[in-house]
Amino acid sequence: MYISKSFIPILKNNPSEAKIKSHQLMLRVGMIKQSSAGIYSWLPLGFKVMKKIEKIVREEQDRIGVQEILMPTIQSSEIWKESGRYKDYGEEMLRIKDRQNREMLYGPTNEELITDIFRSSIKSYKSLPQLLYHIQWKFRDEIRPRFGIMRCREFYMKDAYSFDISDEEALFSYNKFFLSYLKTFKKLNLKAIPMAAETGPIGGSLSHEFIILAETGESKIFTDKRVFDLSIDNAKLEKQSLENMRKEYEQYYSVTDEKFDKTEFEKKVSEKNRLITKGIEVGHIFYFGAKYSKPMGASVDLPGGKKDFVKMGSYGIGVSRLVGAIIEAKYDEKNEVMKWPISIAPYHVAIIPMINKNDNSQLDKANNIFSELKKNNIDAIIDDTDENISSKIKKINLIGVPFQIIIGKQSVGDKLEFKEVEGEPQMIELKDVIKIINKQKEKN
């Protein structure tokens, strides 16, 4: 693929309307385009990254046995009246009247709709647990949308729901998601800390936010440094193992400013372990028992013959938001270098030929390399513009392509000038380039 034919509208300078670095970079390299306040189109570069993140999120849901479904964006107000949240939700809910004058809404979350799906089909404890998820667009009519896709109105989210027979089983489901979330963020090369959280409009008794560290984060966080030494490598998908894992995290004080208590912090965390910094919420999980199943009458037959309301939890990851969050965490603003983990980079490698008028030899060489890389499942882009090599490299660094092949004066014979972003160039053959990139891909 040639960069000149790709729809990647790059701006010379940071757009003045963008206040945080993810918003700046996403507009700068044409990942998104605003269509109206808090609503964005995803252009090819942004779309590719978001889809790769979505794929990782999906794989980790599938791994713990969550089944994928897809609920619609537009919901009837009826079920929200049943749960009692129709009034509570306030103006953030986008309310719509259809041509028959029925009250509809654009779903900001899906507890009601999934409970309705569950109650119409599942009648017995024998079919439990049920874990269901979907990845769908949602809408929250923020009064002041800002920071690009970090606080926008239409956003892409993975939300999952668990249905269990008892509190004990429900906590087992909760812990599965707890582990799955830590694994998901690890795969995205993010260090996420689970923090005890307020439950807000979702409700319930138990909740954790997953926060990644970023200096530009919106939440102030207070934590014990030792939380970073914990590992999930030994956790198994078994009740006791997961319970132990969660307790390991819970032993360390870790909260956002919402829940911060100075006395408790200073009592529980020795001075040398205290970390006060900023972070971004990328996931949020809730356990709320019968909060929705009771008013909506979602009950199942128990083993003895009695009935009981099913115990539910819900689990969200902001997929579109992660694109911005990862930029906040990985973009070196000063040097204008974006360091996408290779698993979600828009391209694995950029081929940068020096283009001379009346001489196609470098471009031909680039094309050949491109085909060879493609055969080896390496996704490359050719910068075929007539800019000089150093402006090309600057642009590729901004886009965030982890590896670069430069076809210029240095190239002699079969050796190519190859480098990792910000690394030193080395002269190696194409087959070794392929080895290095594929090794990096496997590691991530």
Interface ranges with its own copies (CB under 8 A) = 4-7, 9, 30, 33, 35-37, 39-44, 47-48, 50, 67-76, 78, 91-92, 94, 96, 98-100, 102, 104, 106, 113, 116-117, 120-122, 126-127, 130, 132, 137, 139, 141, 143, 153-154
Q: Are strands 130-139 and 94-97 parallel, antiparallel or unpaired?
A: unpaired
Read off the DSSP letter of residue 297. Answer: T
Question: Shortest Cβ distance from residue 413 to its own copies (Å)?
Answer: 33
Cis peptide leading into residue 129 (ω within 30°): yes
Instruction: Rank residues 67 and 335 by Cβ distance to its own copies and give the closer one.
Output: 67
Is residue 22 packed enough to be buried (19+ CB in 10 Å), middle (13-18) or exposed (0-12)? buried
Q: Can you tell me the distance from the alpha carbon of 83 to that of 294, in angstroms, rounded to the nearest whole number?
A: 9
For residue 264, what are the CA distances in angstroms to 206, 224, 278? 19, 12, 19
Residue 411's Cβ-side half-sphere holds a number of Cα atoms within 13 Å equal to 20
Q: Which is nearer to its own copies, 73 or 411 (CB)?
A: 73
Shortest spacing between CB 174 and its own copies, in angstroms: 19
Closer to its own copies by Cβ: residue 133 or 185: 133
CB 328 within 8 A of CB 217: yes
Shortest distance in whole angstroms from residue 103 CB to its own copies: 10
Question: Minimum CB separation from its own copies for residue 218, in Å?
Answer: 21
Q: Which of the 8 DSSP states describes residue 274?
A: E
Per-residue burial over 43-64, b = 16 or more CB atoms within 10 Å of its CB, e = otherwise: bebbbbbbebbbebbbebbeeb
Return the SS3 of 261: coil
Q: Which is nearer to its own copies, 213 or 296 (CB)?
A: 296
- Residue 196 in contact with residue 247, Cβ under 8 Å? no
Q: What is the nearest approach in angstroms of its own copies to the Cβ of residue 70?
A: 4
62 within 8 A of 68, measured Cβ to Cβ = yes
* Closest distance of CB 248 from its own copies, Å: 29
- Taking the complex as a whole, the smallest distance from the CB of residue 279 to its own copies amounts, in Å, to 27
Q: CB neighbours (10 Å) of residue 187?
A: 17
Would you say 151 or 339 has its CB closer to its own copies?
A: 151
Report in angstroms how near the CB of residue 326 gets to its own copies at its nearest: 18
Structural element, H or E, at residue 106 = strand 103-106
Nearer to its own copies, 126 or 225 (CB): 126
Question: Do 310 and 118 meet the contact criterion of CB atoms below 8 Å apart?
Answer: yes
Beta bridge partners of 283: 210, 317
212 and 282 Cβ atoms separated by less than 8 Å: yes
Q: In whole angstroms, how close is the CB of 139 to its own copies at the nearest point?
A: 7
**Residue closer to its own copies, measured from CB, 76 or 199:** 76
Helix (H), strand (E) at residue 177: helix 167-187
Q: Which residues pair with 162 in a beta bridge?
A: 131, 313
- Tokens 């070794």 correspond to 432
Phi, psi for residue 64 in degrees, rounded to 5: -95, 10
Nearest residue (CB) to its own copies, 72 versus 408: 72
Residue 331 C-beta: closest distance to its own copies, Å: 22
If the CB atoms of residues 12 and 99 are measured against its own copies, the closer one turns out to be 99
**Which residue number, 79 or 255, has a Cβ lying nearer to its own copies?**
79
